[in-house]
Structure 1
Amino acid sequence: MQLKPVARTALTVISALLMATGPAFSAQAATGTFVYDRVDGTHGAITNPVNGVCYDFDSPAFGADNQTDTDAVLFDTYGCSGVSQPLPKRTGEQWGTYRAESVTFG
């Protein structure tokens, strides 16, 4: 079965539009490193995190240093739920009783 010229032209235009807009739908990553301070005194790090992805810490954290170019939101439970704590880009903070267990960017 052959496509008619109008259908072929429409498919070509649609394909070109998808190729041009495809990168706009891809995941963006923050640039930099996010360091969190574990309750045992050691540190964990996430480098160039993907925006919109939830990162669970391997241990609760009492502070963090967001040296990425994207704002972060920390959560007091795994899976990026519970009480949230914003941490703007290029800032750090330590908390009194708050313990973060996960973070998302963007």
Structure 2
Amino acid sequence: MPSLKNALRPAVAVGAALALFTGMSTSAQAATGDFTYINVNGDDFTLHAPENGECFLLVSGARSANNRTNTRATVFAEQGCEGSRLVMQPGTSVNFGAAVPHSVMFG
């Protein structure tokens, strides 16, 4: 007959794993506000309450941008949030000139 100690080990292991899993899971948070930009063709775009940590494509590259969210926006030279970057604090605007960014991530 197994001892109580041996019978409790699997239950403790399962409980610890469940606590670790549920403690680490977080729901995605969205920035409050809008991120607007004008692309190189002169078209206006708006990202409404963008999800933090998600990479967004800036269609045809952004000539200028306005971060009207409550979180920082990091714009990247390349699609997929790669390459050189520039951090835009909440409430800031930027005119990019010739080196236009092609993606943005919030948070």
TM-score > 0.5, shorter chain as reference: yes
2:61 and 2:20 map into 1 onto residues whose CA distance is 45
Number of corresponding residues: 102
Deviations 1:39-98 (A, max 9, x none): 111211111011100001221111100000000000111100011011111111102222
Query: Is the CA contact 2:62–2:96 (under 8 Å) kept in the aligned structure 1?
Result: no
Counterpart of 1:59? 60
Counterpart of 2:37? 36
Q: Please, which runs of 5 or more residues in structure 2 have no aligned partner? A: 1-6
Q: Which amino acid aligns with 1:88?
A: Q
Q: Which amino acid aligns with 2:100?
A: R
2:75 and 2:19 map into 1 onto residues whose CA distance is 40
Runs (4+) of structure 1 exceeding 6 A deviation are 10-19
Bigger strand fraction: 1
1:48 and 1:31 map into 2 onto residues whose CA distance is 5
Q: Which amino acid aligns with 1:69?
A: N
CA RMSD between the two structures: 2.2
Q: Please, which runs of 5 or more residues in structure 1 have no aligned partner? A: none
Q: Give the TM-score, by structure 1 length.
A: 0.77
Q: Give the TM-score, by structure 2 length.
A: 0.76
Identity between Structure 1 and Structure 2 (%): 36
Counterpart of 1:104? 105
Specify the SS of the correspondent of 1:51: coil
